[in-house]
Amino acid sequence: MFRHELIKSNLNLENSCKSGFQTINPEEIISFGGSSGWGYHNNLYVFNVKTCLWKLIETSGDPPSPRSGVSTDIYKENFVYFFGGFDRRVYFDDFFKLDITTWTWESLPQKPQGRHSHSGNIHEDNYYIFGGRFDHDGTRDNILWKYSIKQEKWEQVEPLGKKPISRSSHIGMIFQDALYIYGGAGPINEALRDLHFYSIFDNTWNEIIVPEAEIPPPLIASSAVKCGSRLILVGGKILEDKKRTDLNTVFQYDFIQNNWSELSPWSDETLFPKRSSHVCALADYKIVLFGGEVLKNEFYFKHLNDVWILHLIQDLPKDLLEFSKQNLLFDI
């Protein structure tokens, strides 16, 4: 169960689709770049979850050029890594480190082929890149790359086991010592709903089997956060008979129990608007949802710049939940 609220922005933000969105401390999230529908930008913003205010950051060094679809993750609280992206013409293969103590950009060694809508996740001292789209023909792959942060070098990983099929616009998430991959767009742009994990220490891919009735629909360009031992999956788009439908659903996957469930809203109020290609991050025990796009008709995508906060309501007895909902005794 969750409740949600729309946040009024203090800045005139660009409409933003597939920005780099990353929690940098318990109260703040950075947003880099994104597509407005008419172009791309490389502005860097910080959103404070407690004050609900945005701040435009002035940086030094050589920043990435305007783009969307970049992967990002944080390392040891002080550095955020960014790889790849797209600006409608170029599939970028450049790699950057941002020192968030000085807001200074640094360019790093390049290796994997340029791509966008891939996943990028840090585990210990390594940055893992998986999948992504490489060209205007929609070429994708299922190669796993590893960048050693300490040694500053790239390596193509050769895992054991059956790899997930090639994909982009999927979910990548680290839990304990494994990289989890869910859904996305497959080799012929089909929507996927499979779940796999790469065991880092065993160097092995494994597919996770869950009863089909529990699994979310095949989703492309959804967004997710890790909340304790749960993956929270927000929005995305489905394809039925090549017809696209954007969603505003919220699902959770329990890593420990190995099951999916759909979360319902706290009240009957209108849900946040349907969307895909948005971004989410977790800070101050809240899920912050930003931007994305929604299909208005077959010729027009509306790009968004709204901010919603989702408050998760978990682990309370059902009778207490109902009593609280009816009487509003406390704020969750």
Q: Which residues contact 73 (CB under 8 A, 6 or more apart)?
A: 22, 80, 81, 120, 121, 122, 127
Q: Which residues contact 96 (CB under 8 A, 6 or more apart)?
A: 63, 64, 81, 82, 83, 105, 106, 107, 108
Q: Which residue has the tokens 């659903």?
A: 249
Please list the rounded mean pLDDT of every run of 10 residues in the chain (332 residues).
89 93 97 94 97 98 97 97 96 98 96 96 98 94 97 97 98 98 96 98 97 90 97 96 92 96 82 96 95 86 94 58 37 34
The pLDDT value given to residue 300: 80
Name which of 191, 86, 188 is nearest 135 in CA terms: 86
Give the strand order in the sheet containing 2-7.
2-7, 300-312, 286-297, 279-283
d(CA 258, CA 110): 37
Domains of the chain: 2-327 (2.120.10.80)
**pTM here?**
0.92
Secondary structure element (H or E) that encloses residue 130, with its range: strand 126-130
d(CA 116, CA 132): 5
The pLDDT value given to residue 140: 97
Q: What is the DSSP string of 210-223?
A: --GGGSPPP-BS-E
The pLDDT value given to residue 301: 86
- Number of neighbouring beta carbons within 10 Å of residue 57: 14
